[in-house]
Structures are given as C-alpha cells and as structure tokens.
C-alpha cells in the first residue's frame, strides 16, 4: 500500500509485505511505478533496524566532531581514482558537468563556488582497488568495526530493493542483484557545517549543487534538518523539498540503472540547499543548522557491462545508450569531481 507522502510529488512505498507471498508483487509494482514517475521514493518499514540507524548517526557525529588534525589521519587520496577517506570542505566539487577531455578551465570555473561540506567514505575491505582510509584505532575506538557491519547491512537491504525493482520490471528477481557483489559499493558520512545563509543565497558557497547519482540506486538516510530537494519532473528546473521522515530510506535511481532500463526508470537531479526557514536562522547572523546525512550507493561490479534490458525496449525502438562498464562510467564522472 502506498502511504501518504509528506511531499505529494514523492511517493511512499511500505516495504512491509516484501517477504510475504501476497505482498511481494504489490511492493515491486509500487516501487517501479515510483521510479518511472519520479525517480525518488520514501521506503518505510524496511528491514534495516532503527537502532542501527541511530548508532550510525551517532558515530557520524563523533567522527566529524574530532579535531581536524585527527580527521586528516584518514585523508581522501589525491585525485579522483580512489574515493575513500575524509574530504574536507572545498576538496570535492559535485557537478553534473562532464567533459570527455577533462577540460581543466571548466573544472576551475566550477570550483570557484565551494561545496561547503565534509565527508568520509567507506567501502568493502575486500576491494583492493579502493582501499579504505581508516583512522588509527585509538582515534575513535569501535568506529571501523561498526562501519563495516553497517556497510554490509545496507548492502543486504539494498539487495532487497534491487530484487523488488527486478520483479516490478518482470525480470527474474536476481537479474539486477547478480551484478552487485557488494564489494564495490560506497557508504558516505556527510556533514554540512553551519554557514551564513547569505553565502548560499548569493552563490558564494554551495551545500551540494544539483546532480544525478552515478550508480544503480542510492539509499539515503537523513537527519531532521532538511535541505534535500528533488527536481520536479513536471516542471524541469524547479525543485521540491524531500522532507525528512524518521527512519525512512529515501531511495533514488542512479544513472546506470536509467541506462540499464532505457530511460524507463528515472535518474532524477537533486541538490542540497538551504533548510526550511525555522532551521536557517540562528540569531542575527542567519546561520544554517548543521546537517547530517548518510547515503549508500549500490554499484555494479567494475567489469559489469551495463546494456539495455531487452524487456525495456518497445517494439520497433532501439536502445538509447551504448553498452558501458561500471568502471568506464565512474571514470567519466569522477574525473570532473576531484
């Protein structure tokens, strides 16, 4: 059953029935319908424990409250090839603009507006191509153990979502999941520090500019601050707030799944900007609240070839995209971001 949404344009899917024979098809069809129409959906009553989500946000807060010199003991490596470790405010520039020849003048122009956020990225310790950058054990005891446990729990839940999408597309339930071993996903802790509202309003700084995600799907967990906005498909160029819903997964389609489905499922542009009015005023300086969020990106294995699903091509039509590997697409996007 589709629940009432806090935002009329973003559907809510109740995942309660996924593990029951009677509810399985209903969940799958509602999920695919949301991804066709909007590309974003709130998933409630999923199987990720509330206690684990609370603990994840607690660890995230503890990490970002460390002194800067402690966080820099696990730095993001130079360049775009490895996406792990701590990124300080201004290091990363999220942009939807891509260039096959890596136009450095364009990159410089984009970087003139700083993304005022910091992040910490974690992957599987089994992925030697993307080695994790861990803090020393005495900097934050227990952090590494929890993050790896949380990483694999998110993969389990993400696997259920991929299965539901496959069933909703009238495929074998493991058609999408079989290209995801879990070793190449990305767990990201995000912190948006307080900033003058005027800096955002005058484009002297940004939180996270409009973009689409790279991979198959993203599962986002957010605190109660607000600021996430999703492009309104019916009015391109306008955005609607994705109001926080406690313990809900905000799930969205990524670029590779859109390619995979021949544009049947939408990879929708989204951004993080000023939170709602009550959370952007602190005294006379009009400071935004700090914001925490945790996205988990489900990615196919690097050598997986992403090519149009035959059932997603209408009779007499053609595939809209040439086949591409996950590694090839990531290279194209990441080279413009760091």
Least confident window among 49-63, 81-95, 127-141, 181-195: 81-95
Instruction: Give the range of the structural domain holding residue 253, as residue numbers without chain letter.
Output: 2-334
What is the number of domains present in the chain?
1
Segment 320-326 long-range contacts (CB within 8 Å, at least 24 positions apart): 320/259, 320/262, 320/263, 321/259, 321/262, 324/259, 326/184, 326/215, 326/256, 326/299, 326/300, 326/301, 326/302
What percentage of the chain exceeds 90 in pLDDT? 64
State the Cα–Cα distance between residues 177 and 182, nearest whole angstrom.
Answer: 9
pTM of the model: 0.90
CATH of residue 130: 2.60.120.330
Chain segment 153-197, per-residue pLDDT in tens: 999 999 999 999 999 999 999 999 999 999 999 999 999 999 888
Which has the closest alpha carbon to 272: 311, 216, 220, 235? 220
Question: Rounded mean pLDDT of 229-237?
Answer: 91
**Which structure tokens are listed for 192?**
């948006």
Looking at the chain, which runs of residues are DSSP E strands? Answer: 2-3, 12-14, 40-44, 85-87, 114-115, 118-122, 186-192, 205-206, 208-211, 217-222, 228-231, 239-241, 249-253, 270-272, 291-298, 305-306, 324-325
State the Cα–Cα distance between residues 83 and 228, nearest whole angstrom.
Answer: 22
pLDDT at 99: 38
Question: Rounded mean pLDDT of 245-253?
Answer: 97
């Amino acid at each position: 059953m589709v629940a009432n949404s806090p935002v009329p344009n973003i559907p809510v899917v109740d995942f309660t029935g996924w593990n029951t024979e009677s509810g399985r098809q209903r969940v799958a069809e509602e999920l695919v319908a949301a991804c066709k129409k909007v590309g974003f959906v709130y998933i409630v009553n999923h199987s990720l424990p509330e206690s684990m989500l609370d603990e994840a946000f607690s660890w995230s807060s503890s990490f970002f409250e460390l002194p800067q010199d402690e966080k820099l003991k696990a730095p993001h490596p130079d360049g775009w090839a490895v996406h792990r470790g701590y990124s300080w405010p201004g290091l990363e520039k999220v942009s939807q603009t891509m260039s096959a020849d890596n136009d450095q003048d364009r990159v410089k122009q984009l970087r003139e507006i700083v993304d005022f956020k910091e992040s910490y990225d974690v992957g599987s310790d089994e992925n030697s191509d993307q080695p994790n950058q861990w803090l020393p054990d005495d900097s934050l005891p227990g952090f590494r153990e929890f993050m790896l446990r949380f990483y694999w729990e998110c993969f389990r839940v993400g696997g259920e979502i991929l299965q539901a999408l496959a069933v909703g597309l009238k495929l074998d339930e493991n058609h999408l999941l079989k290209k995801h071993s879990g070793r190449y996903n990305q767990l990201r802790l995000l912190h948006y520090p307080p900033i003058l509202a005027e800096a955002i309003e005058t484009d002297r700084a940004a939180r996270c500019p409009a973009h689409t995600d790279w991979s198959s799907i993203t599962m986002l967990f957010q605190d109660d601050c607000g600021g996430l906005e999703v492009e309104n498909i019916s009015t391109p160029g306008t955005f609607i707030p994705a109001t926080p819903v406690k313990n809900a997964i905000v799930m969205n389609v990524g670029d590779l799944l859109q390619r995979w489905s021949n544009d049947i499922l939408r990879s929708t542009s989204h951004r993080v900007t000023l939170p709602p009015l009550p959370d952007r005023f602190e005294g006379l300086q009009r400071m935004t609240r700090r914001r925490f969020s945790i996205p988990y990106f489900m990615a196919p294995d690097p050598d997986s070839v992403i090519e149009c699903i035959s059932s997603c091509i209408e009779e007499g039509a053609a595939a809209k995209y040439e086949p591409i590997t996950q590694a090839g697409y990531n290279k194209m996007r990441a080279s413009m971001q760091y």
